[in-house]
Chains A and B, each alone.
Chain A
Amino acid sequence: MNGSGKVALNAGIEKAWEVLLNPQALKNCIMGCTKLETVGENKYEAVLSIGIAAVKGKYESTIEIADIQKPNHYKLIVKGEGGPGSVEATGVVDLISIDENTTELQYTYDAEVGGKVAMVGQRMLNGVAKLIIQDFFKKFNKELAKSEQSV
């Protein structure tokens, strides 16, 4: 499964970058993320509870950020395993400054799922991926607003 898209963020590029790489902000934005801990440089461990079709369950995942070119580009490598099966995904994020308060984020992703979630959920996967991504950016813009206020 793969996909791509772009979204406008209501912040300047530096600010957007900062929040994007803030573990607490990410935890708030990722649907079903109940835990996100830093375990090393650019490495996190997360617990995600997601239901896809009839397959609900917890995934214990590692998230690695690589290929960092601050503040324009990075790559996200996610490996998750749990009762419902396994997920391996990579995402590439590019930030383009539009103006002082607007940044365009472009993303592409490539994901492979395995086990039960592939067996009974694959019809739904593209839809679920879109839902999770849309939800992420909706919440992310809120996080940006929150961080603006806190400044």
Chain B
Amino acid sequence: MSKVIGKSVTRVEDKRLLTGQGKYIDDLGTPPNTAHVAILRSPYPHAKIVSIDYSEALKIPGVKGVVTGKEVQPLVNPFSVGVSAPVQYYPIAMDKVRYVGEPVAVVVAKNRYIAEDALEKIKVKYETLEPVVDIERALEEGAPVLHENVGSNIANHRTFHYGDVDKAFQQADRIIKHRFHFPKYSATPVETYGVIAQYEESTDSYTVHANFHGPFVLHSIMASALKVPSNRLRIIIPKDIGGSYGIKAGIFPYIVLCSVVSRLAGCPVKWIEDRQEHLAASSSCTDRVTYIEAAVKNDGKVLGLKMKMIDNVGAYIRAPEPACLYRNHANTTGAYDIPNLMIDAYAVMTNKVPTGLIRGYGGQETYFPLERIMHMIADELEMDPADVIRRNLIKKEQFPYKTASGGVYDSGDYEKAFDLLLKIGKYEEFRKKQAEARKKGKLLGVGLAVIVEPSGSNMGYITIALTPEERKAGLPKSGCTEAATISIDPMGNVNVRISTTPTGQGHETVASQIVSEILGIPHDKINVVAELDTATSAWSIASGSYSSRFASLGSSAVYYAAQKVKRKIIKIAAHFLQIDEDDLTMKNGQIISKTDPSKSISIKRVAGSAHWNPLSLPKGMEPGIYETAYYTAQAEPPDDNDLINSSITYGFVADLVTVEIDPETGEIHILDYYTVHDAGKLLNPLIANGQILGGLVHGLGGAMYEELVYDDKGQFLTGSFMDYLCPTATEIPRVTIQHIETPSPITPLGAKGLGEGNSMSAPVVIANAVNDALKPYGVTIDSLPVTPNKIWNLIHRSIKQEELA
């Protein structure tokens, strides 16, 4: 078989998806007697529940029962959390509500219509409490406290000193600092959450179908919450998930809630979340305030950074938070050689929906202040931002590069990628055009951003939330394990089972390419099964679809499983043909002698023998062909100095965006978006570009449109797509994607993850371009999204000040 890995093979998933034959959660059949649930949610951001009276709801024909916190409490433990603060998080409100949309009661009924109608009959008496929504207000003395037993709103606080920050700041010619605010937004998958849960009393076990995509470390947390041994909670993931971008990891409280409701109601239950519920009460990114200070030499060299980051994790810190705060810990200094770093990290709780995984996970929050301050340094030093970036970029010969906070960047050529960007983006030419346009009163701007895109998370990074002493009290946590199973049936056909729970990224296609190339079988003859079943699949804590881990880890597990199968087949073939194993190769469904191609045997014959005539196999060999590989890369737990390599592979993204702003309306028009990627060896460029584009549009949303808005009283104001604006096809600008490939020395195929990079870079590169366009007005973009309203106000405030002066 010729090369298949790295080819733009079309997706095997598309035919079924485009012809309506996808199998999403709502396409699965339900067991007989399944009831449907609807959830009553809190209209208040912060209140005590005085009483709940559901007697009227029970009278409605078709209602099978109503469940509140009181009924749930004896059957569950609060979810365990990754911090030492004793936050009690349950899947339904117990005595207090802490955000608008928090579940308060669940109606179980014959159908969803009846369940929804019955919600209105439930009378809840609340005693309202003062809410807190602002990040810094939550830290103040006298602010309302959400969790009385915690004593403050701080869920986690850690300070890190790497290198010699004091010295760096003493040696600096100047210190440039600013405060930035990154907004809370979501990722709005087309398919919302869905759960079908069934409790079986005879075995005291729960079986759940849900569009959950990991990380499967949460399986243990759910089993503990349900008070059952983990093999008594079977979770089955459908073949197709309609997008997630991390958000669906936040379904786990609803899996537990529906499980308990099934137990209490005595029947299987089904719940499909509606869009309003999804926007109000699923999950989101954190909003973050960052105070960043850079110690800078007059030539633009950055000697050190201080960053105080305050992440708002919403009403309850829930697993895996405060991961957002630490996901990018190893790459906090981005693409720059900055050896001195101080991080003061806070996770605070406020009366907003709890947060969790989201495409980019902490990257956009981290790079917004970092890449803005690089442009501000250029402004202050009257240098070109491209020169400031180049002055600080890590050089090719420095790889593998060890970052201040413990990251090991495996490979890269940042200067080459950056130079390519400036060339294809015609940077110099645009600067001239901009100068001409300014003379005519036109506002043109260009922004740059360079970021390191981490992929494949090291499960140990989350424990950086604990002090070295606290970590010592528990078992060390590390690794990034993924598994895959490949079998060949008696007719010689191949099944591949993966545990990467794809949510639309085309894992089936890429897995088939890898197996095809190794076993010499056409990729379209290979059947890839993506359903994960915790009772029958090979999986581990890290399994799932997040942190762009397929290209670095999932594909590696498939690769090693295929190699195991290949070794066995070659061994059998060598035995049958009486040829040395080293002389054999697999091609076109045959095992062939390299030196004498007339000697060959088909895979069908070899695999068939393993099933039909096992005694013919080499002595001592097991019958059948069924191989599982578990793969992890070198990923150590944090050390005593809090150094942590939080990811396995590190890609690179360089963006250049040009904009024109209409000063009359504040509207931003993106003229061009150029993005250069280095994700190591590409496994499938077609899929890679699709993923990059998707991530970019998500970043565009964060930059210009999307925000989960709460008023100062904690009321949630963006509960529909009329109020929560997502970019649609017409908002997507012209995008030019280019790649360079510096293979990762870590992964067997040299691949790194991708698809999240522009979610991280787009918000800041657009902010940089907008800021550049508005330079004549002397304004600073330090919050997002950059809506026309915000831009118009900045322009006019500046004009007013000028008039006053």
Contacts and interface: CB of A to CB of B under 8 A. Distances in A.
A and B found bound together: yes
Interface of A: 54, 57-58, 81-83, 85-86, 112-116, 118-120, 122-123
B44 A86 contact: yes
Interface of B: 41-45, 100, 119-120, 276, 279-280, 711, 713, 715-720, 722-723
Nearest to A81: B43
A85 B43 contact: yes
B119 A120 contact: no
Pick the 5 closest A-B CB pairs, nearest first.
A119-B719, A115-B43, A83-B120, A118-B715, A114-B43
A54 B43 contact: no
Given A82-B120, A83-B119, A54 B720 contact: yes
Given A86-B43, A114-B715, A120 B722 contact: yes
A122 B723 contact: yes
Which of A86, A114, A115 has the most B CB atoms < 10 Å from its CB? A114
Contacts of A119: 100, 276, 279-280, 715-720, 723
22 contacts: A54-B720, A57-B120, A58-B120, A81-B43, A83-B119, A83-B120, A113-B715, A114-B44, A114-B715, A115-B42, A116-B276, A118-B43, A118-B716, A118-B717, A119-B100, A119-B715, A119-B719, A120-B276, A120-B720, A122-B717, A122-B723, A123-B722
Contacts, number: 54
A54 B723 CA distance: 13
A121 to B, nearest CB: 9
Contacts of B722: 120, 123
A44 to B, nearest CB: 19
A115 B104 CA distance: 13
A120 B120 contact: no
A116 B43 contact: yes
Which of A57, A85, A122 has the most B CB atoms < 10 Å from its CB? A122
B504 to A, nearest CB: 27
Contacts of A120: 276, 719-720, 722-723
Contact of B100 (A54, A81, A114): A114
Contacts of B715: 112-114, 118-119, 122
A118 B717 CA distance: 6
A58 B121 CA distance: 11
Nearest to A83: B120
Contacts of A118: 43, 100, 711, 715-717, 719
Contacts of B276: 116, 119-120
A120 B100 CA distance: 13
Contacts of A83: 119-120
Contacts of A114: 43-45, 100, 715
Nearest to A57: B120
A5 B100 CA distance: 32
B100 A115 contact: yes
A123 B716 CA distance: 12
A120 B716 CA distance: 9
Nearest to A118: B715
Contacts of B718: 119
Given A112-B713, A122-B717, 9 more contacts: A81-B43, A85-B43, A86-B43, A118-B716, A118-B719, A119-B100, A119-B723, A120-B276, A122-B723
Contacts of B120: 57-58, 82-83
Contacts of B41: 115
A113 B718 CA distance: 14
A9 B313 CA distance: 53
A113 B100 CA distance: 12
Contacts of B723: 119-120, 122-123
A123 B717 CA distance: 9
Which of B43, B100, B711, B715 has the most A CB atoms < 10 Å from its CB? B43
A82 B276 CA distance: 17
Contact of B719 (A57, A86, A116): A116
Contacts of A57: 120
Which of B119, B120, B715, B716 has the most A CB atoms < 10 Å from its CB? B715
Contacts of A85: 43
A91 to B, nearest CB: 19
A120 to B, nearest CB: 4
A73 B169 CA distance: 65
B63 to A, nearest CB: 15
A3 B597 CA distance: 89
Contacts of B280: 119
Nearest to A58: B120
A6 to B, nearest CB: 28
Nearest to B719: A119
Contacts of A115: 41-44, 100
B475 to A, nearest CB: 43
Nearest to A85: B43
A122 B719 CA distance: 10
Contacts of A54: 720
A41 B41 CA distance: 34
B117 to A, nearest CB: 9
B724 to A, nearest CB: 10
A71 to B, nearest CB: 34
A113 B120 CA distance: 17
Contacts of B720: 54, 119-120
Contacts of A81: 43
A83 B723 CA distance: 21
Nearest to B45: A114
A132 B711 CA distance: 24
Contacts of A112: 713, 715
A1 to B, nearest CB: 10
Nearest to B117: A83
A14 B771 CA distance: 62
A119 B280 CA distance: 8
A119 B720 CA distance: 7
A54 B718 CA distance: 13
Which of A82, A119, A122, A123 has the most B CB atoms < 10 Å from its CB? A119
A120 B43 CA distance: 13
Contacts of B44: 86, 114-115
Nearest to A117: B43
B22 to A, nearest CB: 29
A72 to B, nearest CB: 32
A115 B280 CA distance: 10
Nearest to A113: B715
A33 to B, nearest CB: 18
